[in-house]
Structure 1
């Protein structure tokens, strides 16, 4: 999963949205680099698939809805009770709802806001005392959509703009406490969340035309960046939104000609 090895032995990492896609890849990367992990998601069966083949004593599965405020407190309490501490939090859970604002159902906005924004706030509040003790750090999964606009994604983009704002501001607030806060920002990445997008060569071509490296992202492209930001190699990096986008955001938006 990672070309370089990071020493996460004796570290406890809490990861949300760990049942598929980027969250699953991140979980495996931490396990491969020696960490104990607490993995959170709605479906226990999916979480079990994520940790299949790893020693049971190295992971704790928590199947809970993170959009419910009190669940974040319960998750943190369970993690500390099981492993004794929390060193790293990876706030990865997110949902995507496409559509223009005038057509969006209020229930869709409630869903995307509660998972992408509210759950981030609840977990940050709940885990702060533990990160203060461990002098740990938090890494969020944002998106290049948090820095720019996209057609038909106003709600999703707004939530990712919010995450970027939280990351930068919390990094300032928590910096003197010895806690680092950063984010990774992928572009179009083939995961369960993007099923139905770019499934044929013709549908995929507009995305490829914007990607300097000529292919969509994979979850395995994102995981190493998360490990780096939470590792001892990044001890002077905080408040950063690290793009992991194959060069997508290097473009001015002009079409690829020639």
Structure 2
């Protein structure tokens, strides 16, 4: 499980550990990974402080997983990063970083794990984004990397389906995390954000984790090639603002 030290990845890692799974927690910061697994039985987890953009990182993660647990049943690719981008000020270094983390590292991990997943008839859950399904303000580059992940997931679902390997993606919208907290602390931004969310609240990592648990389980055994929005209804909107609900006004 990559990106397991913070945010959505941490929520997913904890959810799997709580269900009794043996989990390999991968991330750049060892301290964060240990915090994520603090309440877990030592026999059921492995901490791997690795930057997934490093050469050979994917091969190392899969090899360490097989060495410790002997098999690979579920791969969760959750590592990701986001940088606001405007085309007039966009630079090559920003694009290289976005692509390396959000796309290239996922491809490398899928390539390294395909064989072990065939042996177990396992499955992959990639954490994408609703930004990979539609445009977003100042997010064209981030969205492009997530859109590529979505199409890659669908193509690999076709290629690996005959081997019994399922490949799906979860597409969250704005979710509470260390990286988003400063924006949520802006009362005006939060008000405008919630105006776009049908359920009227920001997602938590636990909201995403519950769906990942289902998609990775045998209960979802006939689901593959799916891009599943977990967004509180954000992507259901055409973009029209929510009607004003003024005192005494009939809004039915």
Common fold, TM-score beyond 0.5?
yes
Contact 1:69–1:122 (8 Å) recurs in 2:
no
Residue 103 of structure 1 aligns with which residue? 89
Confirm whether residue 226 of structure 1 aligns to residue 212 of structure 2.
Answer: yes
Pick the aligned partner of 1:33 from 19, 30, 35: 19
- What is the correspondence of 1:235-250 to structure 2 with a 5 Å cutoff? 235-250=221-236
Partners of 2:143 and 2:48 lie apart in 1 by 28
3-state DSSP class of the match of 2:182? Answer: coil
Calculate the aligned-residue CA RMSD, in Å: 0.8
Equivalences for residues 89-128 of structure 1 within 5 A? 89-128=75-114
Q: Is the 8 A contact 1:95 1:193 kept in 2?
A: no
Counterparts of residues 207-226 of structure 1 (less than 5 Å):
207-226=193-212
Deviation digits for residues 146-168 of structure 1 (CA, Å, limit 9, x no counterpart): 10001101110001101111111
Q: In the TM superposition, what are the counterparts of 1:20-169 in structure 2 within 5 Å?
A: 20-169=6-155
Distance in 2, matches of 1:35 and 1:57, equals: 10
Partner of 1:19 in structure 2? 5
Residue of structure 1 in register with 2:243 after alignment: 257
Structure 1 residue 34: deviation in Å? 1.2
| TM-score normalised by L of structure 1 | 0.93
TM-fit CA distance, 1:200: 2.6
Does structure 2 conserve the Cα–Cα contact (< 8 Å) formed by 1:18 and 1:27? yes
| Unmatched 5+ stretches in structure 1 | 1-14
| Selected match of 2:189 from 190, 203, 212 | 203
Structure 2, gaps ≥5 residues long:
245-252
Decide which structure has the larger Cα Rg and report it: 2
Q: CA deviation at 1:122?
A: 0.4
Separation in 2 of the partners of 1:206 and 1:83?
Answer: 46
